[in-house]
Structure 1
């Protein structure tokens, strides 16, 4: 097969049009949510989707860093896809920070620790547990931490992409070896600080509750949803005539990782649930009791079905992992499933019983953020050739083959 090493994605036509339509749907849905008085519900949906949007963007950086640190060759020919994810990071960081800062100062986000008078002993709203955590859970320190996370992670991601693009122009091993070093630095920093980030963004929605598994549980969710987004993007590009070098073995590896880390996510979900159930500590069990109310109980268990049982059964066989249509369906299920997972983290602690459920606000906000991610990611993808032509493992990736056992 004659390869065009300068093949470049053109961001035109239906992809651009539909992504812009999706963004418009999101903006209209959010505006209707605020206009109709569903303020807390709209803010909660913005938090869910902005967090998810940011996590998938950083999952691209995590994917690249792991490939470099592991000296893995199989994924080299698809690395421009997660690299395009990293071009979304600056936008995701600004949107998330602006959203959180506004929501905190208007008291529309993080009611459990951000309510007026909650740390004042003379206030009727005083909460001694939250007052004891006020050294950590206060607005200035909260925003400083968020800014530092975004700046450090985002800076490393932007620099690594620059290195890979310079490697395209100049070749040699210098940029590749430097990329390994910065990837290792990112893995260490991200691995230690991401749990703290998830504590801030998701756990502090219900600040009485705590879980030692929560950070790793969120990291597993970020990773498997990022893998699903990468796999879906690769398959859709191939179906539209791009990336002819992608073969069944590449799809098999992506399907294998989705299968494996859906199982890992389930292990952490189960461990977190069983620890709280077995300990029977009121501060911990209350979190799950709220999710066993009639409004959420079905979705609580459906979360396990859609994020574990479905991808587990769909991707169990080797043949299914090599089938692009099957892997595409599994990727879509996982992406939707982890939105539901984030929904269950945020909604029960953010809205009243009257606001619970699904309507145009949930659907429209999610569609809008998907459209924004697709628009920014494909715009970034169009800025560089689809093949990293001077990567030392390119030939290994182009000839990647796994026997179908």
Structure 2
């Protein structure tokens, strides 16, 4: 059985993939420029879509670090032969983190005038619900007692400190695990694997406690009166499914280009099981959050879903559950379905689009308010970030000296993976 004939090969990032990704980046830049030049509501849509996509970008790159970490902690062997793909995600995470911080900074500093409750107010384009001047100053005409009660964590210094610490720690552990893996290729032995195991354990503890806080800050605080303790896990599930779908898509792409010849249908089957399983987990958290809010009928909680049941959002609200639950349920449930490459490819594309819609529904009702269709900003900025992700990840993959961690202790198990 030919499983590892080209184990020393390097990936070459060239041709159509490179050209198309660069064209997509240019389209994204044009869409951003259009939003700011057009003015009016287009500026708000530009900021909202930039936040959506930069958060999505950070999320899927973090999913790569998360994947590597739990594979090390579980001492899993099946993934060793393609671990370079999520490691490439980890290498891109620092860039994604900087982009997210720049978007948030611009959205907080750039203000505009709006009419709220019959009076004109100056508010930032992002996080106006808690970052508008006067909300936490007793006696101010903008004073908000709910935000005043949350001022200990809904303030700019705390917000930035937490974001920088979390993004910095995720990036640090991701790059460390990549370094240990590449060092392992030259030094051999178990020392680097043991370091990867140790760092992965520490990362998972930090990540498990902090990622919900990250989701609370970046996304949930867009509608700062509302709260849900399940929101962080809901975001984690969406992030993980999206990351797994992208890992599978890149696996399929590079194999079609003649690389990773040692991978076979059993590897795709295994990652397909994970995509299916975590899609069901996402649905569980989605339903639990929705059902408990409906059952409690508390105004400060139910308002979140009320505005998403307005006519302009209601169709997309239900399409979200169809794309992210029914589609993987019907397309990936059987064993054979996970072993059909084209079906897996299209299911992954559908899930990436579905979770973009999922994030869209988290961001837009609290910022843009009224849904006016998918225009230049939505489509163009999505394409721009898709191109940027593709360019950076495939470029990172091309910089590995070998597509396989040649001295990984479980490599042979992965090369002969069979289920």
TM over 0.5: yes
Q: Tell whether the 8 Å contact from 1:101 to 1:143 is kept in structure 2 after alignment.
A: no
Report Cα offsets for 1:187-245 as digits up to 9, x if no partner: 11001100000000110010000101111111111111100000000011111111111
TM-superposition CA deviations, 1:41-92 (whole Å, max 9, x none): 1100000000000000010010001110001101111100000111111101
Shift of 1:122: 2.6
Equivalence for 2:328: 311
Q: Is 1:379 equivalent to 2:395 in the alignment?
A: yes
Q: Deviations over 1:9-52 (max 9, x none)?
A: 00111111111001000000011011111111110000000000
Name the SS for the 1:29 alignment partner: helix
Q: Residue 358 of structure 1 aligns with which residue?
A: 374
* More displaced 10-residue stretch of structure 1: 377-386 or 101-110: 101-110
Point out the more displaced range, 222-231 or 356-365: 356-365
Structure 2 residue 144 is matched with structure 1 residue 158: no
Query: Any unmatched runs of 5+ in structure 1?
Result: none
CA contact (8 A) 1:249 1:400 kept: yes
| Aligned residue in 1 for 2:99 | 95
Structure 2 alignment gaps of length 5 or more: 111-123
Aligned residues: 401
Runs of 4+ in structure 1 off by over 4 angstroms are: none
Is 1:334–2:351 an aligned residue pair? yes
Map 1:78-227 to 2 at 5 A.
78-106=82-110, 107-227=124-244
Distance in 1 separating the partners of 2:374 and 2:8:
45
Q: 1:149–1:197: 8 Å Cα contact kept in structure 2? A: yes
TM-score, length basis structure 2 = 0.94
Q: Does 1:264 find its partner at 2:281? A: yes
* Native 8 Å contact 1:11 1:379 kept in 2: yes
Deviation at 1:121, TM superposition (A): 2.6
SS state of the match for residue 296, structure 1? helix
Which residue matches 1:237? 254
Match of 2:7 in 1: 5
Deviation at 1:134, TM superposition (A): 1.1
**Residue in 2 aligned with 1:293?**
310
The question of whether the paired residues in 2 share the 8 Å contact of 1:173 and 1:392 is answered with: yes
Q: Is the 8 A contact 1:347 1:356 kept in 2?
A: no
Instruction: Please tell me whether residue 55 in structure 1 is matched to residue 59 in structure 2.
Output: yes
Q: Could you tell me which of 6, 14, 17 is aligned with 2:16?
A: 14
RMSD: 0.9
d(CA) in 2 for partners of 1:335, 1:282:
32
Which whole-Å CA distance do the structure 1 matches of 2:377 and 2:411 have between them? 44
TM-score by length of 1: 0.98
Aligned 8 A contact 2:45 2:368 in 1? yes
Alpha-carbon offset, residue 357 of structure 1: 2.5
Residue of 73, 78, 90 corresponding to 1:74: 78
Residue pair 2:88, 2:393 contacting (<8 A) in 1 also: yes
Q: Residue by residue, what CA displacement relative to the aligned partner does 1:276-322 show, whole Å, maximum 9, x if unpaired?
A: 00000000000000000011000001000000001110001110101
